[in-house]
Amino acid sequence: MREDLLKRFVASYAVGRDKKKDAKFKTAFNRYKKYTDSIYKKCSFKNLVINDIEDIANIASKKNNAALMMALDGVIGDIGINYDRNINAISSYRLHPDRTYLEQSRHELKVGKFGDGYLDQIILWERKNPSKFKELQDIMKSLKLLNSIELHRIEGGRYEVLVSTTANGTKNSIIDVGFGVSQFLPIIVADLQLTANSTLFVAEPEIHLHPNVQAEFGDYLVKQINTNNKNYVIETHSEYFLNRVRLAIVKGDLKEENLSVYYLENSGSDVKAHNLKFNKSGGIDNAPDGFFETYMMDLKEIAFNI
């Protein structure tokens, strides 16, 4: 689709073009094409020059070239759609679960920032994409959070989500199991909606999660980075999560250059960002005093008071 639009774009310009603006147009168009290429390959905005789009649109408008304007609109729209499909953000506040849900017909199944819409996507996967539905269940098993997910349809177009937390456990409504299940599922569903080379922002994924699951989430992200070249921006207070990422660096499962860690220190009147470095020996470089010391200090206090 994109290549057809670009061909139309070039062909439209070639008809009756203004030679005085030829060099300016070519420069703008070449930069614009480079930008569209980068979007499709890396989902990156770094090559975009906003004025280029305006210049091309102005030239098309002055020439009254409707075909060129349509091609430009199509290319911009195509970029926007693909950008939207390759990035998402999940807030630290996520909606509470309900006993039953009304099945909805949604044009856009992308998970919202509060986790809304994730169940509609699960329903669609169960019906039309069993392999994706199985992938979701396998991931939840690997994270040691759930063993199975089952959708039970009831009267009035409503349904309930039944889950089991162990292999031989009974199935319960999602509202009757640990709150972390309903808070964490939207994150995984949102991630599975994204393609390779995509970016997911998540604020405090550890909320309501058992420490083991927080650590396992670190392993999950490392696997996604290595197999699908995905990008993640995580805001977290979880030492369990960070220590599992440190372990991945030590074991060589994650390259040091593929990780950036910033610790924000609030002094009351100002916030200082410390650029930390997790090294292969397990150490943390550039850490301020007191960082990661709570656990060790508590152990010392316990030892001294036995």
Provide the pLDDT for residue 83: 59
100 shares a domain with 32: no
Provide the pLDDT for residue 228: 94
Sign of the C-alpha dihedral computed for residues 163, 165, 167 and 169 taken in this order = negative
Q: Give the residue from 85, 119, 147 where a domain finishes.
A: 85
230 vs 269: CA distance, rounded Å: 36
Can you give the pLDDT of all 306 residues of the chain as single tens digits? 344 444 444 444 444 445 555 565 566 666 656 655 554 454 444 444 445 556 666 666 666 656 556 656 665 565 555 556 789 999 999 999 999 988 776 656 889 999 999 999 998 899 889 999 999 999 999 999 999 999 988 888 788 999 998 888 889 999 999 899 999 999 999 999 999 989 999 999 999 999 999 999 999 999 999 999 999 999 999 999 999 999 999 999 999 999 999 998 887 788 888 999 999 998 899 988 878 877 777 877 888 887
List the alpha helices (DSSP H) in the chain. 2-14, 22-42, 50-62, 66-85, 118-128, 130-142, 179-193, 211-228, 239-251, 294-304
Q: Tell me if the pTM is above 0.75.
A: no
163 shares a domain with 36: no
Tokens of 12: 């439209």
189 shares a domain with 110: yes
114 shares a domain with 50: no
175 shares a domain with 49: no
297 shares a domain with 265: yes
103 shares a domain with 15: no
Residue type, 193: Q
268 shares a domain with 205: no
107 vs 297: CA distance, rounded Å: 53
Owning domain of residue 298? 260-306
Helices (runs of H) and strands (runs of E) counted in the chain: 10, 10
133 shares a domain with 43: no
CATH of the domain at 252: 3.40.50.300
226 shares a domain with 91: yes
Q: Give the residue from 49, 67, 85 where a domain finishes.
A: 85
CA distances from residue 265 to 156, 179, 289 in whole angstroms, order as listed = 52, 30, 11
Give the three-state DSSP class for 125.
helix
248 shares a domain with 103: yes
Provide the pLDDT for residue 275: 92
Q: Find the helix packing angle between 130-142 and 179-193, rounded to 10°.
A: 130
> Most distant CA pair in the chain: distance in Å?
89
Beta strands across the sheet bearing 87-90: 87-90, 199-203, 231-235
208 shares a domain with 196: yes
* DSSP-derived secondary structure letter, 257: G
The total of structural domains in the chain comes to 3
Contact 25, 13 (CB under 8 A): yes
